[in-house]
Structure 1
Amino acid sequence: VALSSCEAEYIAGSYAACQAVWLDSVLKELKLDVEKPIKLQIDNQSAINLARNPVLHGRSKHIEARFHFLREQVNQGSLDVVHCATGSQVADILTKSLKTDRFLNLRRALGVFQFRS
């Protein structure tokens, strides 16, 4: 159970980092270049600071070591964590009830359109 939104975002970022590194290795096998560092968007500034700072904070020492994969990848230069404003999260269309205008904007951002015959 996550004790804070920072911890929850950091853990989610660590899982995303694992997927990004795996996808990078698959693309390398296919002889496709990936721009480095891979940008990982996180909407929590505290989680971003935790990933960028190699010093273990008192607030983060309870986080299991396996979740520090994100920090390791950032320190190696493989990944860069950048802030993603909450209002820019396209995934909200799948997880939240939205007002019509916001729904239409996010749907457009996904490249989905209404098909009429």
Structure 2
Amino acid sequence: MRSTWTGKRYALALLALWLILIVGRYLLAHNEAMLEHRLICVENAGGAEVSEAFRALVCSADFTTKRILGTVLFWAFHSAMAFSMIGALIWFAVIRPRIHPPQPIPQPGQED
């Protein structure tokens, strides 16, 4: 059985989108960690640069809970996305072409 490239292109595009989202989220998390590290360093140096509202947000007890919940939801969402894309790749590249094999395109003047 010869499979079509349409399903493979679709699944690979979804996989590329997923990778872009993962890299983007990693960069955001890295920036957040660097910001938190800078806040700690600034507080150790006297804390004159940091506004009270920002310090209250980052140093509050809810900040850790929100971050943990956000991380759990992030990984759950992206794991589900990864499984669905792997499933789409298997469906469009392997299973569907076996169930519905590609039909030849009739050319003008060709009889069935």
The two structures have a TM-score, normalised by structure 1, of: 0.32
The two structures have a TM-score, normalised by structure 2, of: 0.33
- Structure with the larger helix share: 2
Bigger relative CO (Cα 8 Å, ≥ 6 apart): 2
Q: Which protein shows a greater Rg? A: 2
